[in-house]
Structures are given as structure tokens and as C-alpha cells.
Structure 1
Amino acid sequence: MNQKIAIITTSTDVASENIENELKSKLNLEEKTYNGLNNPYYLNDNFLLYESNKKQLNLNNIDRVISKIFDVDLIVFPSRHSSEKRNQKTFSVHTPGNPGEEALYGGNKFSLSMSAPFAMKKALKSLERYSKELAPEFEVTLECTHHGPSEINIPCFFIEIGSSKKEWKNKDAGKVVAESIIDLKDLEREDSAAISLGGGHYSPRQTRLLFETETYLGHIIPDYQLENLDIIKKALEKTLNSKFIHLCREKTKKEEFREKINKIDYPSYREKHIRALDPIPFSLWKKIHEIEKDCTPFYFGKKQQEFSHEVIDKKFMDYVEKIDRKKLIESIKEHELVHYRYQNGEISNNLLFPVEGLQKNKISFINSCIDIIKQKRNAYVSKGEKVFLIEIEEKRFNPGKAKKLGLTEKQFGELTSGQEIEIAGNTITPAMVHNIIKKKFEVNYLPINKKEVIRI
């Protein structure tokens, strides 16, 4: 999607001016004037660049002014990041706003600007890519929501160079940020994003989650600002396409907090649950969870838009898992199935198969399960019109037979390990002390009806 982006810099910030100079050298911009702005602005088809004489933190109404001269989709504030405690070269990204009762650095208390989760993720990835070549010593990170302006109603975010004057003036750092902003011109918005609750000022866990999954995060509210339920609701309202809440770190695990968050009619997930279903679109998550409410779903395949709910014979699945659980999970991964695990780790017989190539994939999975059985048991398979007929021969040691043949309990182990034993000139083979137990399974290999298809 071709975006219209307003870039708001400031003459009060050397990092902002550094980035502005790089942008002007890369964009073919035409100088314009407008009575509502103190300074000229610069324009092309996709970008408006304006340098304010005020600190960006105090530009609460800048979106209203810009909207009168530019059909803006996104506002970006190139800025400096300052930290006396954390002497780390950084590129950081965050949404502006004041989740708490203090507004020491612009904006209003308990007030949040509209977050831009899709643009922030793309900016992070661009920062990472360009910094590898131009500024490899810089760390790329998300930060929690903080400082003004807090009343911007167009999706917006700060993109910053930190953390000292030396870095703010670094030309290569300015180039990295400028290129990352230009990349935002071609931005796709997905159907769902989340807010994140928990953690500190810096957000390393949320940063990793964005880099490693298909998740998009808007407002990030840290541990020390989670007391106000209304601000959490506002964070959801002020995050573009917010559909769920990401819960991070220990504070969000406390019973008191869980009772509070349950009052909000929004699904919430911890990182492990998000990673378990990634990259399946969020719009399918609720349906997936409803199939086995007492289980945790897992998925290891590529992005899919629709799945068919297939129920495999439970006794057959349990038997395969008992034979070799590790290989069963490997087969589930190979066939890109959603599977469910009970709290004790047992795998459910409810499986979700990608609709594309369903019957071929289902037959292949069942055959792989039969192969797992054949590694340890004799198995005979015939294929009917709808089902595989599977007959398994299982040898079981019979201690009563062994004793009748004159064996002591100490010798049982030799026979069960496959060895023969000589007693009074007679050879006792393992087959002589085993019973043959037969098990039969009928496993449906045809897809079930279309009513069981889960799709977006």
C-alpha cells in the first residue's frame, strides 16, 4: 500500500536535524509554505517533511495542521534518544503517550497517541538491515510508550538515534534512519495487532517477538504503569487494528492482575502461546482454541489461511505416541499440522490439516504413523474404501511359560533381550516364552465434511 507520510523534525534536536539532512538528500522535495506552519515544508507525492522550532514532545495538535495540507496516513518523528544510565548505541522505536499520572516531557497525563504497529515493525526490520552495513555497533530495540505528544490521532511513532551527542551527529546513523523512513512508503497493513503489557522501559522481549514471529505490537505499557485499567483500554483503542493483548514478564502473571485484565473483553496471550501458533493469522486463533479447550495448540508450518479439523482414531494415535513420541511430533511438523497437547503433554487425536492438498497429506501422515509402528512391531495394512485396516502383532513375555521351562527370574532378562538359553541340553528361544497379542485399528483416511473447515 502506497503511504502518505508526514515526517516531523525539530531544530532543537541535533539527531533530528541529522536525519532531516539525509532525507532531503534522498528525496526530491519541493518547498512549500502554509499559514498554519511557522516554517516552510517540503513535499513530494509520498512525503511531507516539516521542521518545527518547538520540541516534538510538545506538538500535540500537529496532525490537525498537517491534515489540512496533506492526506496523511502516518506521522514519523525522527529524534534523539537520551540515556545517562544506558550508554548503548541504539536505534529505537516507540509510540508517544503518557500512560501514567505524570506528563513531564510533553503531552497530557493518562493520554495516548494513535500507535502504528505495522509501520513500527517495518521500521525495526529496516533499521536492523541497514545498520548491519552502515552502523553494526548499534542495537535495534523497541521502547515502551512514553512522553508527548499524546494527542495525535493519526498513527505515529518516534524513531530515534541514541544515546549521546556523538551518536546523534553520526552521519551513518542518520542514513540508517532516513532509509528506514523512506522504506515505509510501501507498507502493508495486516488485519490484527496487539498491545503489550509488562516489562521495563526497554522492551527486548517484545523486540525479539516482532523479529521472530508475524506479531505486530502497538502500545507497550510497562510494569510500573499497569495499575490503571482505563489506560489499558485506551491503549487498545489507540492501537491500529488491535485484536489481542500480549502479556509479558512476571507482574502480569499475578492473580490480582489477571482478575483485572479479565474485566476487559479482549483475548490475552503470553509469548509461548503466540509462538505456538505463529504464523497462523490471529483471526483463526479463537476457532483453533475452541476445538480443544483444555489443551494448548501448537503449529510449526508456514502461513496458512484455512485448515480442516480431522479426528484420527484416538487408540491409534495413543499407540503411535507410546511407540515413539519424538517421531510422531516430527511427522506432525513435517505435515504442517496444528496439534493439541494436554497438560500432561499427551497429544490429542484432534488435528488440523491445511486444506490445500488435504487428502494426500492426511494419507501421508497416517502412513508415516504406520511406519513408526513398523519400526517396533509387525504390522499388516490393507486399504479399504474409506479406512486403513491395520493389524499389529505384539510379542509379550509370559513369565509363566518361562518358569514351566525351568528358567529362573534372573534369566528372564536374557530372553526378553532376544538371547537364547541352554538348559539341560535344551535350547530355549524367546519365541517359546512369548504370547502373541493382536491389535486392530480402523483409521479413516478421507477428509470429513466441509463444515469442519476453519478459515478466515
Structure 2
Amino acid sequence: MLAIAVSRADSASVHIGEQLRDAATWTEHADASRADAGGGGTVYRTEGAELREFEELHLRLDGVASAFGTVDDGPSREPELLAFASKHAGDTGELLTAHHTGNFGAADHGGADGELATAAPNAAAHALGALAEHAPDGYEAGLECTHHGPTGVGCPSLFVEVGSDEAQWADADAARAVARAILDLRGVDPTGERAVVGFGGGHYVPRYERIVRETDWCVGHIAADWCLSDLGDPATAAARGTVDAAFRESGATRALVEGDHPELVAVIEALGYRAVRETYLRETTGVPLATVERAESTLCPVEAGLRFGDRATGYEGPLATVDLPEALVAECEGIDTERTRAAVDERVVALETSENGTLVGGRALVPGDADRAATVRAELVGDLVGVLRERYDGVSLRADAVVARRTAFDPEKARTLGVPEGPAFGRLSAGETVEVNGRTITPDAVSSDEERRFPL
């Protein structure tokens, strides 16, 4: 069940609550076990959601999940996710946001020092998409770093907000957009399977928004640069505990670290987690993490050039290692880089690369066993022979090598015949006849047969 908390001390929250009740069919129930100010009294229920109102500001509502689920005249329902319908305040204009809660340092605005609420990374990703979908004209949708309380909610939670000043807090269209985005969270798995923690950057987090929008990773707790300042020396026991909590409460084992924070990275790794680059998140999108781990252990880490081919998407089966014909691949890349890479990618699960992932390396992983690997390699060699034929006059495939022949411009022959280097060389190389000191020089006169052998 989705629990929705409305604060009567927050005008924007009140307006969102009104739009929530207009946007769905609710039944009214009573909860006499709690005071009206603490979420008791009238309780609103609709399919998959329950709405309660509180007198306190949201950031003071520690343990609020315990207020949900029980009414006098209906079944008990355990909240799986809690959304705080709230305002966003700042000098940011028309903005709809979502964020998690907690304190990387002192609890100046609710919660406890150095404690973090249980995040809902997958729900936050859905909220970002829903806010963008429902946003009125002129409103942007975004995520924020983790900030303020509460820290002890009692279930995965997030704030979903309208901002950033009085005009927006009173905007019915903006309140309706936030209400619809909150209702869209019904039935959403709060955590998901692929969450990453963020460290570094600004309070507003466009990089993490891109990750959410463009990959299948979602983002849990985010510690902006100012949060890291509040955290202090990450090597202290208290700071290490907070860093560990960022992963635990996000259901994550990986972190994206913006900026230069070697001491923090050392702590992350000492705690048994992994600091990754954005490349890792993009390259592993769609690839089962078990397959990623096998590829990294067999070939090399993503940061060292591991890339994934077309067969990687969703693949969790057996893998066999293939030694690629490096000289042949390199020659084909010089002829048609895109065609060569496509020939490799369409057959492999993962491959080693160089030059920031642009050039094919020496080994790859293919689906299946050793026999299947030999077949895949033979098919790839056949494709590469086709690429060679774009440049060579004749190509033959032998048991141990590919042999390519061509008739090519011979600069030494041209010099012997008195052809000056420069435009004349270029014309002869292109198959044109030139005049040199009254003599006609044909391309045949300055060409030689060339044979290249590419071992298999």
C-alpha cells in the first residue's frame, strides 16, 4: 500500500491533498486510536493508497509510517511506500521535485544527526517521470539531494513537492500534477534491483536525473557537496556509519562519486562497496548484474575498457572466451570502423576494448560453450573478410590466416620515374594518368602487387 502524508502546516501540502481527493475515488474511514493531529480521525482510502493528515510539518514526522494501515471499520494494510506531499522552497521558480530524506551531518531540520531514512530509489525514478509527464506548462521536473528530516519514517519514503514560492504553492495545476504523480506510485516497487548512491555535486542533481532517465539504474541517497562538508572526515567512525547507511538505506552496493574525493572513495571500498563512473551505469544498462560480474572477472573492469555486445541484453547463460583475430580486426577497423564493430557486437556478450571503448580488443565472451565459441569466431571472421573486400582485390580464407591481395600505388616506383611528390602522387594513387616532363605516366607503371597475411 502507498501511504500519503499531508501536512496542515504546509499550504502546498494542503492543496495537493485536495487535488489527491479529487483525482481518485476515496472512501472515508475513522481511526479513533490516534489523535486527529497525529493522522487519526478521518482517514481516506482508495485502491492501493491511504491518505492521512497531520498538524506537524513533514520533516518532524518521525515514525509516521506507524500511523497508517489501521482503521476502525476496515482491514489493516501495511504501508510499503510513503509519499510526503510537500512544498519545495528555494530560488528555483516553477519546479516539481522529489527527494529522499536524512542528514549527513547535524539535524538542523528534523530527524537525527548523521541518520538517513530508508530511501525509495525506484519510486523516485517513477516520480521523476510522472512529474515530468503531468507538469503544467512552464514547470520543470527534477530531483534533489538528500536533505532534512524525518530520518526514522518506518518504511521506504520520499518527498514529492511543488515549488518554489507562494505563487506555485497556491497553483492548482501544479498541485494537481504532484497529486497525479503521487497516485502513479501505487504498486511501484520502492527499491528496485539496480540502485546507486550519489556523492558530490550540487543540491539539484541534473547528472543523476540523466542517469534515471537514460539508464535502467535508479538513484537512492545523494550527498551533495554541502552534505559532504556536513559529513566531515569520512574516515571517522561516525562518518563511516553514515556512509554505510547511505548504501544500506538505498539498497545499493555501488556509488557514483562526482568530483575528486579520494578519502571518501577509500572509505566506500573499505566498507565493501564500489565507486563506479557514469560509464559503468550506461554500459551495464540492460545487462544482468551477474553477467556483468562474470565479464569483469574474466576480461577486465568496465573502467578498463569492458564493453557489452548485442547478446548481453538480458543474458544470464553460460559464457565462453574467444580470442579475437587482432590484426584482422585492426585492419578492418581502418577500412570501416562501424561495420567492423557491428560485426563483433552482434555476436558477443562482452568484449575488451581500447581508446575509451572505440577499438575492439583481443578477447570477447560469447554465449554458450567452447564449441559454440568456435562457430561464433568463424562467423565473425567471415564478416571481416567481407570488410576486407572493400579495399582489397582478392581475399582468401585459409585454415590459419586470411590472405588479402591488391594492386596498390608504389611511391618508390613513382619517384624512380621522376614523379614529384604532391598532387601527382595523389592522382596516380586514385587511378589517374599524369603528365611529367612531357611523359605520360599511367597508374599501372607505378603500382605493385601487395599481399597481407592476417593470422587466425
TM-score by length of 2: 0.82
Deviation per CA, 1:228-258: give whole Å up to 9, x if none: 333111100111x31311222x2xx344444
Q: Which residue of 1 aligns with 2:18?
A: 21
Equivalent residue for 1:214? 216
Question: Where does residue 119 of structure 1 map in the other structure?
Answer: 123
289, 293, 305: which is aligned to 1:296? Answer: 305
**Contact 1:15–1:168 (8 Å) recurs in 2:** yes
Aligned partner letter, 1:266: Y
Shift of 1:370: 2.7
Contact 1:247-1:270 within 8 A present in 2 as well: yes
**Counterpart among 317, 333, 337 of residue 325 in structure 1:** 337
Q: Is the alpha carbon distance of 1:60 and 1:330 closer, same or farther for their aligned partners in structure 2, counting shifts above 3 Å?
A: same
1:235 pairs with 2:246: yes
- Cα distance in 1 for partners of 2:364, 2:18 equals 55
Amino acid across the alignment from 1:162: G
Q: Deviations over 1:275-309 (max 9, x none)?
A: 23323233433323233327323347584233745
Question: Per-residue deviation at 1:71?
Answer: 1.1
Supply the distance in 2 between the matched residues of 1:332 and 1:310 (Cα, whole angstroms).
11
Map 1:157-176; keep pairs closer than 5 Å: 157-176=158-177
Q: Does the 8 A contact of 1:353 with 1:362 survive in 2?
A: no
Give yes or no for contact 1:397–1:416 (8 Å, CA) kept in 2.
yes
- Counterpart of 1:64, as a letter, is S
Once superposed, what is the RMSD of the aligned Cα atoms?
3.1
Map of 1:451 onto structure 2: none
Amino acid in structure 2 at the alignment position of 1:12: A
* Aligned residue in 2 for 1:374: 389
Decide whether the 8 Å contact of 1:278 with 1:299 is kept in 2: no
* Match among 324, 329, 340 for residue 352 of structure 2: 340
Please state how far the C-alpha of 1:221 moved relative to its aligned partner: 0.7
For residues 12-411 of structure 1, the aligned pairs below 5 Å read 12-25=9-22, 26-38=24-36, 39-40=40-41, 41-66=43-68, 69-83=76-90, 86-101=91-106, 103-131=107-135, 135-188=136-189, 190-226=192-228, 227=232, 228-239=239-250, 241-248=251-258, 250=259, 253-293=260-300, 295-299=304-308, 303-306=313-316, 308=319, 309-332=321-344, 338-343=350-355, 346-353=359-366, 366-381=381-396, 390-399=402-411, 401-402=413-414, 406-410=417-421
What residue identity is the alignment partner of 2:352?
A: Y
Q: Distance in 1 between matches of 2:77 and 2:35?
A: 13
Is the 8 Å Cα contact of residues 419 and 436 (structure 2) preserved in structure 1? no
Q: Give unmatched runs, 5+ long, in structure 1.
A: 444-456
Deviation at 1:60, TM superposition (A): 0.7
CA distance in structure 2 between the partners assigned to 1:149 and 1:184 by the alignment = 20
Displacement after TM superposition at 1:266 (Å): 1.1
SS in 1 for 2:174: helix
- Amino acid aligned to 2:29: E
* Cα offset, 1:24, TM superposition: 1.7
Quote the Cα distance in structure 2 between the aligned partners of 1:225 and 1:98: 8
Pair 55,403 (structure 1): closer, same or farther in 2 beyond 3 Å? closer
Percent identical among aligned pairs is 24
In structure 1, distance between residues paired with 2:105 and 2:366: 46
SS in 2 for 1:175: helix
Secondary structure of the corresponding residue to residue 98 of structure 2: strand
Within 1, Cα distance between the matches of 2:411 and 2:171?
81
Distance in 2 between the 1:186 and 1:254 partners? Answer: 38
27 and 37 in structure 1: CA distance in 2 versus 1, 3 angstrom threshold: farther
Moved more, 312-321 or 394-403: 394-403
Deviations 1:428-453 (A, max 9, x none): 5434443323334476xxxxxxxxxx
Deviation at 1:333, TM superposition (A): 5.8
Please report the TM-score for the alignment, with normalisation by the length of structure 1: 0.82
Deviation of the 1:316 alpha carbon: 1.6
Distance change (3 Å), C-alpha of 1:359 and 1:161:
farther
Distance 1:13 1:286, change over 3 A: same
Question: Secondary structure in 2 aligned to 1:70?
Answer: coil
Is the alpha carbon distance of 1:300 and 1:82 closer, same or farther for their aligned partners in structure 2, counting shifts above 3 Å? Answer: farther
The residue identity in structure 1 corresponding to 2:306 is P
Cα pair 2:327 2:455 within 8 Å, conserved: no
Question: Unpaired segments of 5 or more residues in structure 2?
Answer: 71-75, 233-238
Residue by residue over 1:387-411, the C-alpha shift from the partner in whole angstroms, topping out at 9 and shown as x without a partner, is: 797431144554554566x434546
Measured at CA, do residues 401 and 203 of structure 1 come closer, stay the same or move farther in structure 2, by a change above 3 Å? closer
**In 1, distance between residues paired with 2:428 and 2:89?**
74
- After superposition, what is the alpha-carbon deviation per residue over 1:258-279, rounded to whole angstroms, capped at 9, x for unaligned? 4343323112212233223323
The 1:379/1:190 distance shift into structure 2, 3 A limit, reads: farther
Quick check: 18-27 or 60-69, which moved more? 60-69
Cα 1:182/1:207, change in 2 over 3 Å: same
Alpha-carbon deviations, 1:34-54, whole Å to 9, x = none? 413433222345212110111
Q: 1:421 to 1:297 in 2, by over 3 A?
A: same
Which residue identity lines up with residue 246 of structure 2 in the other structure? A
On the 8 A contact 2:268/2:274 being kept in 1, the answer is: no
Quote the offset at 1:126 in angstroms. 1.0
Of residues 165-174 and 260-269 in structure 1, the stretch that sits farther from structure 2 once superposed is 260-269
Q: Which amino acid aligns with 1:111?
A: E
Amino acid at match of 2:269: N
SS of corresponding position for 2:147:
coil
Shift in Å, 1:76: 0.8
| Whole-angstrom distance in 2 between the partners of 1:420 and 1:122 | 66
